[in-house]
A and B are shown apart, each in its own frame.
Chain A
Amino acid sequence: MSTGGPVRAVRRGPEAARVAAEQAARRRREQKILLAAVVALVVLVVGGGMGLQAWRSGRAPSTGPVPAVADVPQTVADGQPLRFGPAAAPATVTLYEDYHCPHCADFEEEFGDVLSGAQTTGQARVDLYPMSFIDAGSAAAANAAACAAEAGFGQAYHLGLFANPTLEWSDRQLVDLAGEVGGQPGGAFSTCVTTRAKSSWVTSVNTAADANGVEGTPTLFLDGAPVPVEGLTPEKLQTMIETATPGNG
Protein backbone atom coordinates (compact mmCIF):
# COMPACT_ATOMS: atom_id res chain seq x y z
CA MET A 1 0.00 0.00 0.00
CA SER A 2 2.05 2.85 1.31
CA THR A 3 5.48 1.32 1.11
CA GLY A 4 8.20 3.76 0.41
CA GLY A 5 6.05 6.85 -0.07
CA PRO A 6 7.12 8.89 2.90
CA VAL A 7 10.62 7.47 2.83
CA ARG A 8 11.25 8.64 -0.70
CA ALA A 9 9.84 12.04 0.12
CA VAL A 10 12.50 12.42 2.72
CA ARG A 11 15.20 11.36 0.37
CA ARG A 12 14.59 13.22 -2.86
CA GLY A 13 13.66 16.82 -3.20
CA PRO A 14 10.47 18.68 -4.16
CA GLU A 15 9.56 16.42 -7.10
CA ALA A 16 9.17 13.39 -4.82
CA ALA A 17 7.31 15.47 -2.28
CA ARG A 18 4.75 16.29 -4.97
CA VAL A 19 4.35 12.60 -5.77
CA ALA A 20 3.89 11.86 -2.09
CA ALA A 21 1.27 14.58 -1.78
CA GLU A 22 -0.61 13.13 -4.74
CA GLN A 23 -0.47 9.72 -3.20
CA ALA A 24 -1.76 11.08 0.08
CA ALA A 25 -4.62 12.82 -1.68
CA ARG A 26 -5.53 9.66 -3.53
CA ARG A 27 -5.40 7.71 -0.31
CA ARG A 28 -7.71 10.20 1.41
CA ARG A 29 -10.14 9.88 -1.48
CA GLU A 30 -10.03 6.09 -1.26
CA GLN A 31 -10.56 6.29 2.48
CA LYS A 32 -13.62 8.47 2.04
CA ILE A 33 -15.10 6.09 -0.52
CA LEU A 34 -14.33 3.10 1.69
CA LEU A 35 -15.84 4.71 4.76
CA ALA A 36 -18.95 5.72 2.82
CA ALA A 37 -19.27 2.18 1.49
CA VAL A 38 -18.99 0.66 4.94
CA VAL A 39 -21.46 3.13 6.45
CA ALA A 40 -23.88 2.38 3.62
CA LEU A 41 -23.42 -1.35 4.20
CA VAL A 42 -24.06 -1.00 7.93
CA VAL A 43 -27.19 1.06 7.33
CA LEU A 44 -28.34 -1.51 4.79
CA VAL A 45 -27.74 -4.47 7.10
CA VAL A 46 -29.37 -2.85 10.13
CA GLY A 47 -32.26 -1.47 8.11
CA GLY A 48 -32.75 -4.79 6.34
CA GLY A 49 -32.52 -6.55 9.68
CA MET A 50 -35.23 -4.36 11.15
CA GLY A 51 -37.39 -5.05 8.12
CA LEU A 52 -36.78 -8.78 8.51
CA GLN A 53 -37.74 -8.69 12.19
CA ALA A 54 -40.82 -6.60 11.43
CA TRP A 55 -41.86 -9.25 8.95
CA ARG A 56 -41.10 -12.11 11.33
CA SER A 57 -43.19 -10.47 14.07
CA GLY A 58 -45.99 -9.14 11.92
CA ARG A 59 -46.54 -11.78 9.23
CA ALA A 60 -49.66 -13.93 9.13
CA PRO A 61 -49.53 -17.09 11.26
CA SER A 62 -49.09 -20.53 9.74
CA THR A 63 -50.75 -23.71 10.90
CA GLY A 64 -49.25 -25.98 13.55
CA PRO A 65 -49.24 -29.74 14.14
CA VAL A 66 -52.61 -31.49 14.09
CA PRO A 67 -53.75 -32.55 17.57
CA ALA A 68 -53.67 -36.28 18.24
CA VAL A 69 -57.07 -36.32 19.85
CA ALA A 70 -60.05 -34.44 18.51
CA ASP A 71 -60.73 -31.25 20.43
CA VAL A 72 -64.00 -30.83 22.29
CA PRO A 73 -65.37 -27.60 23.73
CA GLN A 74 -64.49 -27.14 27.38
CA THR A 75 -65.46 -24.75 30.11
CA VAL A 76 -62.58 -22.66 31.33
CA ALA A 77 -62.71 -22.06 35.08
CA ASP A 78 -60.60 -19.56 37.00
CA GLY A 79 -57.37 -21.04 38.32
CA GLN A 80 -57.94 -24.22 36.32
CA PRO A 81 -55.81 -25.33 33.34
CA LEU A 82 -56.86 -25.97 29.77
CA ARG A 83 -57.34 -29.73 29.44
CA PHE A 84 -56.20 -31.64 26.36
CA GLY A 85 -56.50 -35.34 25.54
CA PRO A 86 -58.52 -38.23 26.97
CA ALA A 87 -60.02 -37.18 30.30
CA ALA A 88 -59.84 -40.75 31.62
CA ALA A 89 -56.11 -41.19 30.93
CA PRO A 90 -54.17 -42.72 33.85
CA ALA A 91 -51.34 -40.18 33.80
CA THR A 92 -51.53 -36.38 33.82
CA VAL A 93 -48.82 -34.18 32.36
CA THR A 94 -49.08 -30.66 33.76
CA LEU A 95 -47.39 -27.95 31.74
CA TYR A 96 -46.69 -24.30 32.57
CA GLU A 97 -45.75 -22.34 29.47
CA ASP A 98 -45.74 -18.79 28.17
CA TYR A 99 -46.60 -18.36 24.48
CA HIS A 100 -43.74 -15.87 24.09
CA CYS A 101 -41.15 -17.96 25.92
CA PRO A 102 -38.56 -19.21 23.42
CA HIS A 103 -37.63 -22.23 25.55
CA CYS A 104 -41.30 -23.23 25.63
CA ALA A 105 -41.42 -23.21 21.84
CA ASP A 106 -38.26 -25.35 21.83
CA PHE A 107 -39.85 -27.67 24.40
CA GLU A 108 -42.98 -28.07 22.27
CA GLU A 109 -40.91 -28.81 19.20
CA GLU A 110 -38.83 -31.43 21.00
CA PHE A 111 -41.49 -33.09 23.17
CA GLY A 112 -44.68 -32.35 21.24
CA ASP A 113 -44.63 -35.76 19.56
CA VAL A 114 -44.33 -37.60 22.89
CA LEU A 115 -47.19 -35.62 24.42
CA SER A 116 -49.29 -36.14 21.34
CA GLY A 117 -48.47 -39.87 21.20
CA ALA A 118 -49.38 -40.36 24.86
CA GLN A 119 -52.78 -38.80 24.18
CA THR A 120 -53.38 -41.05 21.18
CA THR A 121 -52.61 -44.21 23.16
CA GLY A 122 -54.72 -42.95 26.04
CA GLN A 123 -51.78 -43.04 28.46
CA ALA A 124 -51.79 -39.38 29.39
CA ARG A 125 -53.71 -36.17 29.22
CA VAL A 126 -52.18 -32.71 29.27
CA ASP A 127 -53.16 -29.93 31.66
CA LEU A 128 -51.88 -26.63 30.36
CA TYR A 129 -51.39 -23.43 32.34
CA PRO A 130 -50.61 -20.70 29.78
CA MET A 131 -48.78 -18.16 31.90
CA SER A 132 -48.25 -14.61 30.70
CA PHE A 133 -45.31 -12.83 32.24
CA ILE A 134 -43.16 -11.97 29.23
CA ASP A 135 -45.19 -9.29 27.48
CA ALA A 136 -48.59 -8.16 26.31
CA GLY A 137 -48.48 -10.72 23.49
CA SER A 138 -48.21 -13.53 26.06
CA ALA A 139 -51.43 -12.41 27.75
CA ALA A 140 -53.25 -11.85 24.46
CA ALA A 141 -52.24 -15.34 23.30
CA ALA A 142 -53.25 -16.96 26.60
CA ASN A 143 -56.61 -15.20 26.42
CA ALA A 144 -57.10 -16.41 22.84
CA ALA A 145 -56.11 -19.97 23.82
CA ALA A 146 -58.93 -19.95 26.38
CA CYS A 147 -61.34 -18.59 23.78
CA ALA A 148 -60.32 -21.39 21.42
CA ALA A 149 -60.69 -24.04 24.13
CA GLU A 150 -64.24 -22.93 24.84
CA ALA A 151 -64.98 -22.84 21.13
CA GLY A 152 -63.76 -26.41 20.77
CA PHE A 153 -60.37 -26.09 19.04
CA GLY A 154 -58.17 -25.53 22.06
CA GLN A 155 -55.30 -27.92 21.44
CA ALA A 156 -55.06 -27.19 17.71
CA TYR A 157 -54.84 -23.51 18.57
CA HIS A 158 -52.32 -24.10 21.35
CA LEU A 159 -50.04 -26.04 18.96
CA GLY A 160 -50.51 -23.31 16.35
CA LEU A 161 -49.42 -20.62 18.80
CA PHE A 162 -46.16 -22.43 19.51
CA ALA A 163 -45.61 -23.16 15.82
CA ASN A 164 -45.28 -19.37 15.31
CA PRO A 165 -43.00 -18.33 18.16
CA THR A 166 -41.70 -15.13 16.56
CA LEU A 167 -45.11 -13.51 16.05
CA GLU A 168 -46.02 -10.61 18.30
CA TRP A 169 -49.66 -11.82 18.58
CA SER A 170 -51.72 -8.88 17.56
CA ASP A 171 -55.49 -9.38 17.66
CA ARG A 172 -55.50 -9.83 13.92
CA GLN A 173 -52.86 -12.56 14.03
CA LEU A 174 -54.70 -14.33 16.85
CA VAL A 175 -57.94 -14.30 14.89
CA ASP A 176 -56.20 -15.40 11.69
CA LEU A 177 -54.58 -18.32 13.50
CA ALA A 178 -58.02 -19.75 14.32
CA GLY A 179 -58.70 -20.05 10.60
CA GLU A 180 -55.29 -21.59 9.94
CA VAL A 181 -55.75 -24.38 12.50
CA GLY A 182 -59.26 -25.27 11.40
CA GLY A 183 -61.20 -23.37 14.04
CA GLN A 184 -63.91 -20.77 13.59
CA PRO A 185 -62.25 -17.35 13.46
CA GLY A 186 -65.50 -15.42 13.11
CA GLY A 187 -68.04 -13.90 15.45
CA ALA A 188 -67.84 -15.20 19.00
CA PHE A 189 -64.17 -16.19 18.90
CA SER A 190 -63.11 -12.89 17.36
CA THR A 191 -65.03 -10.94 20.00
CA CYS A 192 -63.59 -13.11 22.76
CA VAL A 193 -60.08 -12.32 21.49
CA THR A 194 -60.44 -8.60 20.90
CA THR A 195 -62.33 -7.85 24.13
CA ARG A 196 -59.93 -10.01 26.19
CA ALA A 197 -62.99 -11.82 27.50
CA LYS A 198 -60.84 -14.29 29.46
CA SER A 199 -58.53 -11.75 31.05
CA SER A 200 -59.58 -12.65 34.59
CA TRP A 201 -58.85 -16.31 33.84
CA VAL A 202 -55.45 -15.29 32.43
CA THR A 203 -54.66 -13.52 35.70
CA SER A 204 -55.96 -16.48 37.71
CA VAL A 205 -53.58 -18.81 35.87
CA ASN A 206 -50.61 -16.66 36.85
CA THR A 207 -51.82 -16.65 40.44
CA ALA A 208 -52.28 -20.42 40.40
CA ALA A 209 -48.78 -20.89 39.00
CA ASP A 210 -47.37 -18.72 41.79
CA ALA A 211 -49.31 -20.71 44.35
CA ASN A 212 -47.92 -23.94 42.89
CA GLY A 213 -44.37 -22.60 43.22
CA VAL A 214 -43.78 -22.32 39.47
CA GLU A 215 -41.06 -19.74 38.84
CA GLY A 216 -40.23 -20.17 35.18
CA THR A 217 -41.39 -21.74 31.97
CA PRO A 218 -41.49 -24.39 30.72
CA THR A 219 -42.24 -26.22 33.96
CA LEU A 220 -43.40 -29.80 33.81
CA PHE A 221 -45.12 -32.11 36.29
CA LEU A 222 -46.06 -35.75 35.85
CA ASP A 223 -48.90 -36.76 38.17
CA GLY A 224 -48.04 -33.85 40.39
CA ALA A 225 -44.32 -34.64 40.70
CA PRO A 226 -41.91 -32.10 39.19
CA VAL A 227 -39.96 -33.30 36.14
CA PRO A 228 -36.80 -31.25 35.52
CA VAL A 229 -36.72 -30.16 31.89
CA GLU A 230 -32.94 -29.83 32.07
CA GLY A 231 -31.41 -33.01 30.62
CA LEU A 232 -34.79 -34.46 29.69
CA THR A 233 -35.01 -36.33 26.39
CA PRO A 234 -38.15 -37.42 24.52
CA GLU A 235 -37.25 -41.06 25.22
CA LYS A 236 -36.95 -40.43 28.95
CA LEU A 237 -40.25 -38.57 29.05
CA GLN A 238 -41.88 -41.37 27.06
CA THR A 239 -40.64 -43.98 29.56
CA MET A 240 -41.74 -41.86 32.50
CA ILE A 241 -45.25 -41.51 31.09
CA GLU A 242 -45.47 -45.26 30.36
CA THR A 243 -44.37 -46.25 33.86
CA ALA A 244 -46.37 -43.59 35.67
CA THR A 245 -48.53 -45.14 38.33
CA PRO A 246 -52.03 -43.71 38.19
CA GLY A 247 -53.57 -42.04 41.17
CA ASN A 248 -50.41 -40.41 42.46
CA GLY A 249 -51.51 -36.93 41.63
Chain B
Amino acid sequence: MIARAPSRSLPTLAAPWASTAARWVLAAVFLTAGGLKVVDPSSSVAAVRAYQLLPAGLERPVGWGLPFVEIVLGLLLVVGAFTRVLAVVAAVLLAAFVVGVVSAAARGLTIDCGCFGSGGTVAAGQTRYTGEVLRDVGLLLLAGWLVWQPRSRLALEPLAPERADILRSEPALPPRSPRRPRLEDAR
Protein backbone atom coordinates (compact mmCIF):
# COMPACT_ATOMS: atom_id res chain seq x y z
CA MET B 1 0.00 0.00 0.00
CA ILE B 2 1.45 3.23 -1.17
CA ALA B 3 0.13 6.67 -0.48
CA ARG B 4 -1.27 8.01 -3.68
CA ALA B 5 -1.60 11.61 -4.75
CA PRO B 6 -4.02 13.25 -2.36
CA SER B 7 -6.45 14.45 -5.03
CA ARG B 8 -8.57 11.74 -6.59
CA SER B 9 -9.55 11.90 -10.24
CA LEU B 10 -13.10 11.24 -11.37
CA PRO B 11 -12.27 7.80 -12.88
CA THR B 12 -10.77 6.78 -9.55
CA LEU B 13 -13.97 7.72 -7.79
CA ALA B 14 -16.27 6.23 -10.44
CA ALA B 15 -14.53 2.86 -10.81
CA PRO B 16 -15.71 1.42 -7.47
CA TRP B 17 -19.27 2.42 -8.32
CA ALA B 18 -18.97 0.83 -11.76
CA SER B 19 -17.75 -2.32 -10.02
CA THR B 20 -20.74 -2.22 -7.70
CA ALA B 21 -23.06 -1.96 -10.72
CA ALA B 22 -21.25 -4.85 -12.44
CA ARG B 23 -21.55 -6.94 -9.29
CA TRP B 24 -25.27 -6.35 -8.98
CA VAL B 25 -26.07 -6.92 -12.66
CA LEU B 26 -24.20 -10.25 -12.57
CA ALA B 27 -25.86 -11.13 -9.26
CA ALA B 28 -29.34 -10.39 -10.62
CA VAL B 29 -28.72 -12.53 -13.70
CA PHE B 30 -27.33 -15.47 -11.74
CA LEU B 31 -30.03 -15.33 -9.09
CA THR B 32 -32.77 -15.22 -11.74
CA ALA B 33 -31.20 -18.01 -13.78
CA GLY B 34 -30.64 -20.20 -10.73
CA GLY B 35 -34.03 -19.49 -9.21
CA LEU B 36 -35.95 -20.31 -12.37
CA LYS B 37 -34.05 -23.56 -12.85
CA VAL B 38 -34.03 -24.78 -9.27
CA VAL B 39 -37.79 -25.24 -9.11
CA ASP B 40 -37.77 -27.80 -11.89
CA PRO B 41 -34.92 -30.31 -11.64
CA SER B 42 -36.05 -32.52 -14.50
CA SER B 43 -36.25 -29.62 -16.96
CA SER B 44 -32.85 -28.47 -15.79
CA VAL B 45 -31.40 -31.91 -16.48
CA ALA B 46 -33.20 -32.01 -19.83
CA ALA B 47 -31.67 -28.66 -20.75
CA VAL B 48 -28.17 -29.94 -19.94
CA ARG B 49 -28.86 -33.14 -21.87
CA ALA B 50 -30.00 -31.18 -24.93
CA TYR B 51 -26.46 -29.87 -25.44
CA GLN B 52 -25.21 -33.45 -25.92
CA LEU B 53 -21.84 -32.39 -24.54
CA LEU B 54 -21.48 -34.09 -21.16
CA PRO B 55 -21.12 -37.82 -20.54
CA ALA B 56 -24.41 -39.37 -19.43
CA GLY B 57 -23.27 -39.73 -15.83
CA LEU B 58 -22.63 -36.01 -15.45
CA GLU B 59 -25.84 -34.66 -16.97
CA ARG B 60 -27.93 -35.13 -13.86
CA PRO B 61 -25.44 -33.84 -11.27
CA VAL B 62 -24.85 -30.74 -13.41
CA GLY B 63 -28.56 -30.21 -14.02
CA TRP B 64 -29.26 -30.50 -10.31
CA GLY B 65 -26.20 -28.67 -9.00
CA LEU B 66 -25.73 -25.79 -11.42
CA PRO B 67 -28.80 -23.82 -10.25
CA PHE B 68 -27.49 -23.90 -6.68
CA VAL B 69 -24.04 -22.80 -7.81
CA GLU B 70 -25.68 -19.88 -9.60
CA ILE B 71 -27.75 -18.93 -6.57
CA VAL B 72 -24.79 -19.03 -4.18
CA LEU B 73 -22.70 -17.06 -6.66
CA GLY B 74 -25.48 -14.49 -6.98
CA LEU B 75 -25.90 -14.11 -3.22
CA LEU B 76 -22.17 -13.62 -2.61
CA LEU B 77 -22.01 -11.11 -5.46
CA VAL B 78 -24.90 -9.12 -3.98
CA VAL B 79 -23.12 -8.62 -0.67
CA GLY B 80 -19.75 -8.19 -2.32
CA ALA B 81 -17.67 -10.89 -0.69
CA PHE B 82 -14.58 -12.36 -2.36
CA THR B 83 -15.41 -10.36 -5.45
CA ARG B 84 -12.31 -11.14 -7.47
CA VAL B 85 -12.50 -14.89 -6.83
CA LEU B 86 -16.21 -14.89 -7.65
CA ALA B 87 -15.69 -12.83 -10.78
CA VAL B 88 -13.24 -15.47 -11.99
CA VAL B 89 -15.76 -18.21 -11.23
CA ALA B 90 -18.51 -16.25 -13.00
CA ALA B 91 -16.26 -15.67 -16.01
CA VAL B 92 -15.40 -19.37 -16.23
CA LEU B 93 -19.10 -20.30 -16.03
CA LEU B 94 -20.10 -17.74 -18.64
CA ALA B 95 -17.29 -18.81 -20.95
CA ALA B 96 -18.49 -22.40 -20.62
CA PHE B 97 -22.03 -21.28 -21.47
CA VAL B 98 -20.78 -19.45 -24.56
CA VAL B 99 -18.80 -22.50 -25.67
CA GLY B 100 -21.87 -24.69 -25.12
CA VAL B 101 -24.20 -22.47 -27.14
CA VAL B 102 -21.70 -21.92 -29.95
CA SER B 103 -20.99 -25.65 -30.18
CA ALA B 104 -24.72 -26.41 -30.21
CA ALA B 105 -25.15 -23.95 -33.08
CA ALA B 106 -22.12 -25.34 -34.91
CA ARG B 107 -23.38 -28.91 -34.59
CA GLY B 108 -26.74 -27.89 -36.02
CA LEU B 109 -28.68 -28.66 -32.83
CA THR B 110 -31.89 -26.68 -32.42
CA ILE B 111 -32.12 -26.05 -28.68
CA ASP B 112 -32.98 -23.32 -26.25
CA CYS B 113 -29.98 -22.48 -24.12
CA GLY B 114 -31.99 -23.30 -21.00
CA CYS B 115 -30.27 -20.42 -19.28
CA PHE B 116 -33.42 -19.32 -17.49
CA GLY B 117 -35.27 -22.58 -17.07
CA SER B 118 -37.11 -24.64 -19.69
CA GLY B 119 -34.51 -25.33 -22.37
CA GLY B 120 -34.33 -28.44 -24.47
CA THR B 121 -35.06 -28.88 -28.15
CA VAL B 122 -37.04 -26.21 -29.97
CA ALA B 123 -38.35 -25.94 -33.52
CA ALA B 124 -35.76 -25.24 -36.21
CA GLY B 125 -36.78 -21.60 -36.63
CA GLN B 126 -36.89 -20.84 -32.91
CA THR B 127 -33.25 -20.85 -31.93
CA ARG B 128 -31.82 -17.58 -30.60
CA TYR B 129 -28.13 -18.42 -30.53
CA THR B 130 -26.88 -14.98 -31.55
CA GLY B 131 -28.78 -13.19 -28.79
CA GLU B 132 -27.80 -15.78 -26.20
CA VAL B 133 -24.11 -15.54 -27.10
CA LEU B 134 -24.17 -11.73 -27.18
CA ARG B 135 -25.79 -11.62 -23.75
CA ASP B 136 -23.27 -14.03 -22.28
CA VAL B 137 -20.37 -12.16 -23.84
CA GLY B 138 -21.70 -8.91 -22.36
CA LEU B 139 -21.87 -10.55 -18.93
CA LEU B 140 -18.42 -11.99 -19.49
CA LEU B 141 -17.11 -8.44 -20.01
CA LEU B 142 -18.71 -7.39 -16.70
CA ALA B 143 -17.05 -10.33 -14.96
CA GLY B 144 -13.75 -9.38 -16.60
CA TRP B 145 -14.11 -5.82 -15.31
CA LEU B 146 -14.62 -7.20 -11.79
CA VAL B 147 -11.52 -9.37 -12.04
CA TRP B 148 -9.60 -6.21 -12.96
CA GLN B 149 -11.40 -3.85 -10.55
CA PRO B 150 -12.76 -5.99 -7.70
CA ARG B 151 -12.95 -3.12 -5.23
CA SER B 152 -16.43 -1.71 -5.10
CA ARG B 153 -18.72 0.42 -2.98
CA LEU B 154 -21.30 -1.14 -0.66
CA ALA B 155 -19.27 -4.33 -0.45
CA LEU B 156 -18.55 -6.53 2.52
CA GLU B 157 -15.18 -7.77 1.25
CA PRO B 158 -14.08 -9.62 4.39
CA LEU B 159 -10.82 -10.55 2.72
CA ALA B 160 -9.63 -7.06 1.93
CA PRO B 161 -7.83 -5.42 4.89
CA GLU B 162 -7.11 -2.34 2.82
CA ARG B 163 -10.80 -1.89 2.20
CA ALA B 164 -11.26 0.75 4.84
CA ASP B 165 -8.50 2.83 3.35
CA ILE B 166 -9.72 2.42 -0.19
CA LEU B 167 -13.23 3.47 0.64
CA ARG B 168 -12.21 6.46 2.66
CA SER B 169 -12.38 9.65 0.71
CA GLU B 170 -9.00 10.86 2.00
CA PRO B 171 -5.75 9.28 0.89
CA ALA B 172 -4.92 6.12 2.76
CA LEU B 173 -1.91 7.47 4.62
CA PRO B 174 -1.40 11.00 5.83
CA PRO B 175 1.46 12.63 4.01
CA ARG B 176 4.62 12.40 6.08
CA SER B 177 5.30 15.54 7.96
CA PRO B 178 8.02 16.53 10.41
CA ARG B 179 5.59 17.64 13.11
CA ARG B 180 3.78 15.11 15.21
CA PRO B 181 0.32 14.27 13.86
CA ARG B 182 -2.45 15.40 16.11
CA LEU B 183 -6.21 15.43 16.35
CA GLU B 184 -7.17 14.00 12.96
CA ASP B 185 -5.35 10.80 13.80
CA ALA B 186 -7.37 10.19 16.90
CA ARG B 187 -10.16 9.01 14.67
Contacts and interface: CB of A to CB of B under 8 A. Distances in A.
A155 to B, nearest CB: 23
Contacts, number: 92
B173 A135 contact: no
Interface in A1-32: 1-4, 6-7, 10-11, 24, 27, 31
Interface in A24-45: 24, 27, 31, 34-35, 38, 42, 45
A49 B118 contact: no
B72 A7 contact: no
Interface residues of B, number: 41
Contact of B164 (A1, A31, A57, A169): A1
A34 B159 contact: yes
Chain A CB within 10 A, most for which of B41, B65, B81, B82: B41
A215 B118 CA distance: 15
Contact of B174 (A7, A137, A167): A7
Contact of B161 (A27, A35, A167): A27
Given A3-B164, A46-B69, A135-B46, A166 B41 contact: yes
A167 B46 CA distance: 12
A49 B65 contact: yes
A2 B123 CA distance: 59
B159 to A, nearest CB: 5
Contacts of A10: 173, 176
- Interface of A, helix, strand, loop or mixed by DSSP: helix
B38 interface: yes
Contact of A42 (B63, B64, B67, B72): B72
Chain A CB within 10 A, most for which of B64, B65, B123: B64
Given A133-B120, A215-B123, A50 B68 contact: yes
Interface string B14-52: 000000000000000000000000111111111001000
Interface in A119-138: 133-135, 137
Given A45-B68, A46-B72, A57 B42 contact: yes
Contacts of A42: 72
Contacts of B41: 53, 56-57, 166, 168
B178 interface: no
A9 B111 CA distance: 61
Interface in B152-187: 158-159, 161-162, 164-165, 172-174, 176, 181, 185, 187
Given A3-B187, A137-B42, 5 more contacts: A2-B165, A45-B68, A53-B38, A133-B121, A168-B41
29 contacts: A1-B161, A2-B162, A3-B164, A4-B185, A6-B1, A6-B165, A6-B172, A6-B173, A11-B181, A31-B158, A34-B159, A38-B76, A46-B69, A50-B61, A50-B65, A53-B41, A53-B65, A56-B41, A100-B46, A102-B43, A102-B118, A133-B120, A134-B46, A135-B46, A135-B120, A166-B40, A166-B42, A169-B42, A215-B123
